Amino acid sequence: MDSESGMHSADEKLDSHQKGSYHVTTAHEVAERGHVATDRYGQSLIQFDPKVEARLRLKIDFYIIPTVSLLYLFCFIDRSNIGNAKLAGLEEDLGLTGNDYNAVLSVFYISYIIFEIPSTMACKWFGPGWYIPALTLCFGICSVGTAFANNIQAISGIRFLLGMFEAAMMPGTAYYLSRWYRRSELTFRLSLYIIMAPLAGAFGGLLASGILSLNNFGSLHTWRMLFAIEGIITCSLSVIGFFTLTDRPETAWWLSQEEKDLAIARVKSERIATTEVLDSIDVPKVLRGIFNPVTLANSFIFLLDNITVQGLAFFAPTIVKTIYPKNSVISQQLHTVPPYVVGAFCTLVFCFLSWRFDHRLFAYFITPPLTMAGYVMFLASTEPHVRYGATFLITSGAFAFGALCNAHVSANVVSDTARSAAIGTNVMLGNIGGLVATWSFLPFDTPNYHIGNGLNLAAAATTLLIAVVLYLWIKRDNRQREKRDVEGELAQLTEKEIQDLDWKHPAFKWRF
């Protein structure tokens, strides 16, 4: 059975080709511009053969996920390898004293936050198939440039550029995947590239220990080799990305026409009043994405979580050094690996369950207590093995939010424009937490870091509180929406005005 015949057989199961006031069509017709795929109540006008969908989904997974995952892996390595470089003598060579290292970290987040939304909207404008590999090439060049920095001014300037080019990588990739997957599928697919953040900690530690065992790389020595070699790898991967990433289903050379129609129709069937999946950018939809209540709540949760995630990225090697101060630098680097591997595994588990149950908020209740328990152990004990064990709990609870928050804001907007704005807002506000993280572990607080550990404990506890409030608010607002007169509210509106309503559409329901 080919994909089109699979859909025709599904259509025949419907009682007549009418649903509400809309004509139920084939996937090919639904995929064309100007056609809606839902009735006024948000119900899909077309049914799909699950087996045909599963084959298409696997094909999309195979062609897209490996490339975006590799690009994001080295995006995070190029951002966080400064933590490994710190152990290898970066501060001494550049003359950094006091809080200079924290200031250098902060510069990255200043540009990262400023360019977050503009760069994500540019990703939609230029097309992610070109834009994401281009950004990867640029921040790879920045990584190579860091190898030649000789003072705080030089490394600060390079870190500013690095933040500018990396700004759209997480939201841009999340937005890109939303062009291909249903809302229930998106969380797990996001996790397949977002686990590259904890794996970057693991792989970055292994890679750093291997590179630092070299005598030299050309004229470069010690920490400078890290930036040069890892930057060259990043640039090479970006070239691969230019050839392997395709903007959207319509331009995918590896899909047949029937598969393209199915890919478009199944995404469209979840978007109420949508006549085209890739709509033009307009201000009302951008504002709907930014000021969506679920977007703002998730953004604050992501902000709090990033205090932990980004803090681990930059300070995990330093924390491990305080636990095992007598070990060699290479041994300390290797000790950072296992907690990240466990964190990556837990991220996959939580996100897989989210996909299967089409529910994201349940993980918001499970993961913060793990992080809280880890920081309680840090605060309550100075025993090295207890503290090292605590890092496993922290990574188990912290890393899933990258996928969960982006998937949740994506599931709670309608238009493509609102989605890109919502994801950009989520990551922009979230990375304010990264800026806070750069000042959470300060030199005067060593070796026990009571301030940093206490801050992270408070952030995890607040995350749990906000998640509970968000869940209760969604349940309450959905009950109120059930009482609205959909036909009456839409009667006098034009098609454009109905589409611009986005989540304010009377038939829209919040997703958990």
Nearest Cα to Cα of residue 427 among 310, 347, 284, 274? 310
What percent helix, strand, coil does the chain show, rounded to 5? 75, 0, 25
Read off the pLDDT band of 13 (50, 70, 90): very low
pLDDT of 489: 81
CB-based burial of residue 29 (10 Å sphere; 0-12 exposed, 13-18 middle, 19+ buried)?
middle
pLDDT at 243 over 50: yes
pLDDT of 279: 73
Phi and psi angles of residue 37, each rounded to the nearest 5 degrees, phi first: -120, 5
pTM: 0.77
In tens, the pLDDT along 391-411 reads: 899 989 988 888 899 889 988
Question: Is residue 384 reached through a cis peptide bond, with omega within 30 degrees of 0 on the bond before it?
Answer: no
Mean pLDDT value across residues 60-88: 87
pLDDT of 102: 84
Question: What percentage of the chain reaches a pLDDT higher than 70?
Answer: 90
pLDDT of 293: 93
The verdict on domain 50-269+277-503 having CATH code 1.20.1250.20 is yes
Output the CA torsion 243→248→254→260 (10° steps).
-170
pLDDT at 44 over 90: no
Name which of 21-30, 186-195, 255-264, 489-498 the model is least confident about.
21-30
Nearest Cα to Cα of residue 196 among 31, 103, 77? 77
pLDDT of 484: 83
- Answer with the residue of higher pLDDT: 338 or 15: 338
SS (HEC) of 420-431: HHHHHHHHHHHH
Domain boundaries, the chain: 1-48, 50-269+277-503
pLDDT at 429 over 80: yes
pLDDT of 42: 66
Contact 187, 404 (CB under 8 A): yes
Mean pLDDT value across residues 170-189: 88
In tens, the pLDDT along 45-70 reads: 777 888 988 999 999 999 999 999 99
